[in-house]
Amino acid sequence: MDALINLLKTNARLTNAELAVMLDTDEKTIATCIETLEEKGIIKGYTAIVNDELVDDENVTALIEVKVTPQSQSGFDAIARTIASYEEVEACTLMSGTYDLCVTVSGKNLRDISLFVAQRLAGIEGVLSTATNFVLKRYKDNNIVIIDEETDERGLISP
């Protein structure tokens, strides 16, 4: 299972036949394993890692540090769920350290994002403060180097 998950993490487009060969099993077993992983919610989805700069250089992304007052019943969960439900939010994680939630948001421009912070985030009960950090350039994401091709320093042929 772990080996299968690791392979899919690096390339979710490997076919079941290819995965079966690499893991020394058959396609049916792979299909069943993947189904189980999906059913159990271990695999939540598959996505492409896109170099946005090449698609639409207007797009902006921000990581917003949010401090909140934990609720007496639900702790951070209720607020985190509310934030996660907004469609502008790409990711929302609970952090240790000087702030509580890290919220990734992207929009068409800076204004989009500041509006989101001012109108949606700041208005949630329990949100104490926010600090918005804009992403300037992505070099690597999900283990994949984005900024330029990784070059192979090795020669073409060696004994």
Partner 1 sequence: MIDYDKVIVNAAKEMKPSGIRKFFDIAQKLEGVISLGVGEPDFQTPWKIRQTAIKTLEKGKTTYTGNRGLSELLEEISEYFEDTIGIEYDAEKEIIVTVGGSEAIDISIRAMVEPGDEVLIVEPSFVCYAPMVSLAGGVPVPIATKVENKFRLTAEELKEKITDKTKLLILPFPNNPTGAVMRKKDLDAIADVLKDTNIVVLSDEIYSELTYGEKHCSIAQCEGMRERTIVINGFSKSFAMTGWRLGFLAGPKEIVQHIFKIHQYAIMCSPTTSQYAAIAGLKYCRSDVKKMVDEYNMRRRFVVDGFNKLGLECFSPEGAFYVFPSIKSTGLSSKDFCEQLVYSKKVAVVPGDAFGESGEGFIRVSYAYSVNHLKEALKRIGEFLDEFHNK
Partner residues linked to 21 by β-bridges: none
Given a contact cutoff of 8 angstroms between Cβ atoms, the answer to whether 109 and 60 are in contact is yes
Per DSSP (E only), the strands in 26-123 are: 60-68, 89-94, 101-107
Q: Considering the rule CB under 8 A, would residue 78 count as an interface residue with partner 1?
A: no
**Assigned token pair, 41:** 């919610």
The span of 20-28, 43-51, 69-77, 103-111 binding partner 1 (CB under 8 A) equals: 20-28
Q: Considering the rule CB under 8 A, would residue 23 count as an interface residue with partner 1?
A: yes
Residue closer to partner 1 by CB (options 10, 93) is 10
Q: Considering the rule CB under 8 A, would residue 152 count as an interface residue with partner 1?
A: yes
Q: Considering the rule CB under 8 A, would residue 8 count as an interface residue with partner 1?
A: no
Q: What is the Cα–Cα distance from 97 to 41, expressed in whole angstroms?
A: 28
**Residue given tokens 């192979």 in the structure block:** 152
Q: Considering the rule CB under 8 A, would residue 149 count as an interface residue with partner 1?
A: no
Tell me which residues touch partner 1 (CB under 8 A).
3, 7, 10-11, 14, 18, 21-24, 152, 154-159
